[in-house]
């Protein structure tokens, strides 16, 4: 049996379900195929559950420090089982919301495994979708197809994951008790967030990173600040280090590595392997089409997210790039606009905010200082510390800063990096400014509420204008 649609979407994560909603808003018929739960990695294995646990960790630390605010607590205890259950409750509430959205917008959802077909009796073009739903098979024929199948944790052959002691981030989210100690392999965003969370839960953490700094791709000053703060909180770090092998012996996990040509061994109750993600493209039947993938398995697309089959698009983690939920949703909406001949503006894709929900929080948009120096002949930077901001002092959160990268000739702001309290909330102002090609004058002369952490953006702009006020 076959059914026809204007758009068939493979994958029900952020890239998939938001694209479905946009297509329905344009009056198009939409089918969405998801083998697991609607909401995808972000909702079930990524953004949301980790942030729920990070919030519990933050509250735990806040209460421990409440004496500084004149608040006394007689007894403080962490109940991780309740924090774990709260995480599940948050996820379930949002999951129900996504399900309701699909019903509201009348998107036909198929729970099953999708596979692309080549030219057949169903369609002269490649791209008809076979859906296996247990004992029932359905064939969906779309005028357009959107692949949004996401990615999964990459593993290391020398550190085999056993899902009991040596874990991926997916496994760690399913662990209903805290490790007594944790070794993290990989100092990217996911590794740093888990390191911060476990430190807040008073767990001993060792982090191993093969590069010279944590958070590759972020501004060097941000990398240094995050490293220093995490070390002050008790993190043991091995940079420029490689991992060679692992061993599980009783209740101990041993990770053996090399640093500065010398061997080292780390022992912990659990190990988190956090070394990037690989595309979920290997079981899609891409070989039945002209769609190409790169060496890592990510689908190759043009600027409008079209594959080599012009009616088949791909967005989100399965095409590589910045593997972020908000990127997938933005790409999905742009792809839908393109396939249905709507006016679209690709400018916002050049100014994607990247965030780290650790303690300290980190956020950046635009160029780093190194990137700007490679592209422009003369730039300047301005760094304004939160310790000079009244609201930061009120909150007793004075560590960190706002850093601007500026084109000295045009006075355009090229990039903004923030490390400190509420950085992930503050970055949106910078993002809007960069999309609108704002100058430091416009940032600096915009009236910001007082007292607020957002004043740091204005103060950094005034500093870049050589008109500093509070420093």
The tokens for 31 are 């089918």
pLDDT score at 241: 97
Report which of 2, 342, 340 is spatially closest to residue 146, judged by C-alpha positions. 340
pLDDT score at 1: 72
Q: Per the annotation, does 391 bind a ligand?
A: no
Q: Is 292 helix (H, G, I), strand (E, B) or coil?
A: coil
The tokens for 128 are 């008809």
Integer-rounded Cα Rg, in Å, for the chain is 24
Report which of 453, 421, 415 is spatially closest to residue 435, judged by C-alpha positions. 415
Q: What is the dihedral of CA 79, 82, 84, 90, to 10 degrees?
A: -140
The tokens for 38 are 């609607």
φ and ψ at 148, to 5 degrees? -140, 55
Q: Per the annotation, does 192 bind a ligand?
A: yes
Q: How far apart are CA 241 and CA 106, in angstroms?
A: 52
pLDDT score at 135: 85
Q: What is the mean pLDDT of residues 54-62?
A: 97
pLDDT score at 250: 83
Q: Per the annotation, does 186 bind a ligand?
A: yes
Q: What is the dihedral of CA 130, 132, 137, 140, to 10 degrees?
A: -30
Confidence grade of residue 197 (pLDDT, cut at 50, 70, 90): very high
Q: What is the pLDDT of residues 120-143, one digit of tens each?
A: 877 788 999 999 998 889 999 999
Q: What is the pLDDT of residues 60-118, one digit of tens each?
A: 999 999 999 999 999 999 999 999 999 999 999 999 999 999 999 999 999 999 999 99
Tell whether the model's pLDDT for residue 224 goes beyond 80. Answer: yes
Q: Per the annotation, does 55 bind a ligand?
A: no
310, 301 Cβ separation under 8 angstroms: no
Confidence grade of residue 296 (pLDDT, cut at 50, 70, 90): confident
Q: Is 159 helix (H, G, I), strand (E, B) or coil?
A: strand
Query: 44, 238, 311, 450: which is the annotated catalytic residue?
Result: 450
pTM: 0.95
The secondary structure of residue 190, as a DSSP letter, is H
pLDDT score at 92: 98
Angle of helix 455-464 versus helix 423-435 axis, rounded to 10: 50
Q: Per the annotation, does 331 bind a ligand?
A: no
Q: Per the annotation, does 51 bind a ligand?
A: yes
Q: Per the annotation, does 193 bind a ligand?
A: yes
pLDDT score at 284: 95
Q: Using the Cα atoms of residue 285, residue 291, residue 297 and residue 303 in order, give the sign of their dihedral.
A: negative
pLDDT score at 123: 79
The tokens for 32 are 């969405």
pLDDT score at 125: 87
Distance in angstroms between the alpha carbons of the first and the last residue of the chain? 71
Angle at 221 between CA 220 and CA 224, to 5 degrees: 85
User: Domains of the chain, with CATH numbers?
Assistant: 2-152+278-349 (3.50.50.60), 155-275 (3.50.50.60), 360-464 (3.30.390.30)
pLDDT score at 202: 96
Alpha helices in 187-219 (DSSP H): 189-200
Q: Per the annotation, does 295 bind a ligand?
A: no
The tokens for 364 are 């950046």
91, 44 Cβ separation under 8 angstroms: yes
Q: How far apart are CA 66 and CA 70, in angstroms?
A: 7
Tell whether the model's pLDDT for residue 437 goes beyond 80. Answer: yes
Q: What is the pLDDT of residues 363-387, one digit of tens each?
A: 999 999 999 999 999 999 999 999 9
Q: What is the mean pLDDT of residues 460-468?
A: 96
Q: What is the pLDDT of residues 304-350, one digit of tens each?
A: 999 999 999 999 999 999 999 999 999 999 999 999 999 999 999 99
Side-chain-side CA neighbours of 392 within 13 Å: the count stands at: 21
- Residue 450 catalytic? yes
Q: Per the annotation, does 189 bind a ligand?
A: yes
């Amino acid at each position: 049996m076959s059914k026809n649609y204007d758009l068939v979407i493979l994958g029900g994560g952020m890239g998939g379900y938001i694209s479905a909603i946009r297509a329905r808003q344009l009056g198009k018929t939409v089918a969405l195929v998801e083998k697991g739960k609607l909401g995808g990695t972000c909702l079930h294995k990524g953004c949301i559950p980790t942030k729920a646990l990070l919030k519990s960790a933050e509250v735990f630390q806040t209460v421990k420090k409440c004496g500084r605010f004149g608040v006394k607590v007689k007894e403080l205890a962490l109940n991780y089982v309740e924090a774990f259950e709260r995480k599940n409750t948050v996820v379930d509430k949002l999951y129900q919301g996504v399900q309701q959205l699909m019903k509201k917008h009348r998107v036909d959802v198929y729970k099953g495994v999708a596979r692309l077909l080549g030219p057949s009796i169903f369609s002269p073009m490649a791209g008809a979708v076979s859906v296996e739903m247990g004992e029932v098979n359905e064939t969906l024929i779309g005028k357009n197809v959107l692949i949004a199948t996401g990615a999964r944790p990459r593993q290391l052959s020398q550190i085999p994951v056993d899902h009991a002691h040596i874990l991926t981030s997916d496994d760690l989210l399913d662990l209903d008790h805290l490790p007594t100690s944790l070794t993290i392999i990989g100092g990217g965003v996911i590794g740093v967030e888990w390191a911060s969370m476990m430190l807040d839960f008073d767990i001993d953490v060792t982090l191993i990173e093969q590069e010279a700094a944590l958070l590759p791709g972020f501004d060097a000053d941000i990398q240094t600040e995050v490293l220093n703060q995490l070390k002050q909180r008790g993190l043991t770090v091995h940079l420029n280090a490689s991992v060679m092998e692992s061993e599980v012996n009783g209740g101990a996990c041993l990770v053996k590595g090399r640093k500065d040509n010398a061997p080292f061994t780390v022992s912990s109750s659990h190990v988190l392997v956090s070394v990037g993600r690989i595309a979920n493209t290997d079981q899609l039947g891409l070989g039945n089409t002209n769609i190409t993938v790169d060496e890592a398995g990510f689908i190759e697309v043009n600027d409008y997210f079209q594959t080599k089959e012009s009616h088949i698009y791909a967005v989100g983690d399965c095409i590589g790039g910045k593997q972020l939920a908000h990127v997938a949703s933005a790409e999905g909406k742009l792809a839908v606009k393109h396939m249905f001949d709507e006016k679209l503006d690709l400018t916002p894709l050049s100014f994607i905010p990247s965030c780290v929900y650790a303690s300290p929080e980190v956020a950046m948009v635009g160029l780093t200082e190194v990137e700007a120096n490679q592209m422009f002949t003369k730039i300047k930077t301005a760094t304004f510390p939160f310790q000079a901001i009244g609201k930061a002092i009120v909150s007793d959160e004075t560590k960190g800063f706002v850093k601007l990268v500026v084109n000295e000739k045009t006075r355009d702001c090229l990039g903004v990096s923030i490390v400190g309290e509420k950085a992930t909330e503050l970055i949106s102002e910078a993002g809007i400014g960069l999309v609108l090609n704002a100058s430091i004058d416009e940032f600096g002369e915009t009236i910001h509420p007082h007292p607020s952490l957002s004043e740091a953006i204005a103060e950094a702009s005034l500093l870049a204008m050589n008109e500093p006020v509070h420093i």
